Chain A
Amino acid sequence: MFDAVARNITFLLGGFVVTLQLTFFALAGGIALGALVGLGRISKNKWIFQPVTLYVNFIRNMPLILVIFWFYFVMPIIAGRPLNPFLSAVISFIIFEATYFGEIFRAGYQSISKDLTSAAYSTGMTYIQTARYILIPVAFRRMLPSLITQSIVTFQDTSLAFVIGLQEFVRRTSIVDNLEVRSIQLFGFVAIIFFIFCFIASKISRHFEEKGRKLGMI
């Protein structure tokens, strides 16, 4: 039933590894940049707030596929030499996903009341201690379900990197399909793999959401 898959399994899984690598770097960069973008979005300094807000609104109104395309074709003109597709894709994903993660962080930061911070200060804790033991853990727990959900979306989005010729999972599958002509079987296999990963992640997200709700934090 999965004969075509079996014949090409190494090649296909090689593509899946690229997908995982892409997801990993997109998430690491997207979450790190997103944490800063979130700070920028609550900044009272308009020289920080306005450019960050412009960036967020601009990118969020842009289809991801355009960001990937645009970056891949424009960067060589700026840089003077072609970028490798993997690096180009990673940077586009970071730029794109950071705006979504940024909004999650913004909500997380804003969910902390002024009085909760004051309560910690009034026991004599310093800013660093308050951030470390109270603000970050509380905000993080509140954000965790959304962070996981957005990570699932990022994982799914990585397949769009095929437009710049990156040989990730979906791209390699279509290469195999051109030779084998077994679309249903091959893309069925891709769907199953994606489904398993996303399903597990969404269960984890649900688990943290339930836990947060029990602690009255969400």
Chain B
Amino acid sequence: MIEIKNVNKWFGEFQVLTDINETIERGQTVVICGPSGSGKSTLLRCINGLEPYQKGQILVDGVSLSDPKTNLYKLRENIGMVFQRFELYPHMTALQNITLAPMKVRKLSKDKARKKAMELLQRVGIPDKADSYPANLSGGQQQRVAIARSLAMEPKYMMFDEPTSALDPEMIKEVLDVMIDLAKEGMTMLCVTHEMGFAREVADEIIFMDFGKIVERGTYEGFFKNPKSERAKEFLKQIL
């Protein structure tokens, strides 16, 4: 369970996050949406300890991130993250991208790590691309390798930061399908995305952020069909 309690964060004078409260139960899929600059990426970065916050608390399975005794490296093993621009290691093949952390962090043998990586590539539908370098893969394929790379650490949570917004339309589906399967298998997910179809199919809750605040929350029906705030209505008009 991820508990976010009254979190506030500033970049210098500028307040990026204001009084964020949210609880994500195991097995849930939460979708975060909102205009550019509203603090969505910053919130995700705070949750796996990539950014500090100045007020409030974030607890992952009861462990506080701001506690100086918390080992953030250890904690991040449990939280996978997928980025808009894939961020694959460009000097490694797809397979090497996936096996690196299991081998170096979990100390898995090369054979075991490879075997597992091949299973994951199978699962995301590109076992034939194991030996390709990222530069020779399409965007959709790169993003699926990135998902496999995260899954190789067997995380309890997965976070996605606009995973399909850098993709050509014909590749969006192949990535969303992988994400939908994951959600249905019971993965706990936190996804920044504006993909309505995805939200409809798997989101337990949708959060709408604006200017660093959670302005509205609800189910797919509640939020997309009947937004309450003016800002949400405006925003939905733009993305639909």
A residues near B (Cβ < 8 Å) are 113, 115-116, 118-126, 129, 133-134, 137-138, 141, 214-217
Contact = CB atoms under 8 A, between A and B. Distances in A.
B90 A122 contact: no
A119 B90 CA distance: 12
Q: Which of B83, B146, B150 counts the most A-chain CB atoms under 10 A from its CB?
A: B83
Contact of A215 (B79, B84, B90, B105): B90
Contacts of A120: 89, 101
Contacts of A129: 104-105
11 contacts: A115-B85, A119-B81, A120-B89, A122-B76, A123-B76, A123-B149, A125-B100, A129-B104, A214-B133, A216-B134, A216-B135
Given A124-B76, A124-B153, A216-B135, A119 B83 contact: yes
Indicate the member of A119, A123, A138 with the most B CB atoms within 10 Å: A123
A121 B76 CA distance: 7
Contacts of A126: 73
Contacts of B133: 214-216
Given A141-B91, A216-B90, A123 B77 contact: yes
A133 B50 contact: no
Nearest to B102: A123
Given A119-B83, A216-B134, A125 B105 contact: yes
A122 B105 contact: no
Question: Interface residues of B toward A: which range?
Answer: 20 to 34
A109 B18 CA distance: 33
Nearest to A122: B81
Contact of B104 (A115, A116, A133): A133
A138 B79 CA distance: 24
B90 A138 contact: yes
A118 B85 CA distance: 12
B87 interface: yes
Interface SS, A side: helix
A183 B76 CA distance: 69
B83 A115 contact: yes
Contact of A119 (B74, B87, B91, B105): B87
Interface string B137-171: 00000000010011011000000000000000000
A115 B134 CA distance: 16
Given A120-B89, A141-B91, 16 more contacts: A113-B85, A115-B85, A115-B87, A116-B87, A116-B89, A119-B83, A119-B88, A122-B79, A123-B76, A123-B149, A126-B73, A129-B104, A137-B91, A216-B133, A216-B134, A216-B135
Interface of B: 45, 48, 50, 73-74, 76-77, 79-81, 83-85, 87-91, 100-101, 104-105, 133-135, 146, 149-150, 152-153
B200 to A, nearest CB: 28
B50 A118 contact: yes
B146 A122 contact: no
Sorted from nearest, which 7 A-B pairs have the closest CB atoms? A216-B135, A124-B77, A123-B101, A122-B81, A119-B87, A124-B105, A115-B87
B165 to A, nearest CB: 14
Contacts of A217: 90-91, 135
A24 B154 CA distance: 48
Nearest to B75: A124
A214 B91 CA distance: 10
Contacts of A119: 81, 83, 87-88, 146, 149
Contacts of B74: 124
A92 to B, nearest CB: 36
B45 to A, nearest CB: 7
Contact of B105 (A113, A118, A123, A216): A123
Nearest to A124: B77
B65 to A, nearest CB: 13
A69 B191 CA distance: 63
B131 to A, nearest CB: 13
A125 B101 CA distance: 7
B100 A118 contact: no
Contacts of B152: 123
Contacts of A115: 83-85, 87
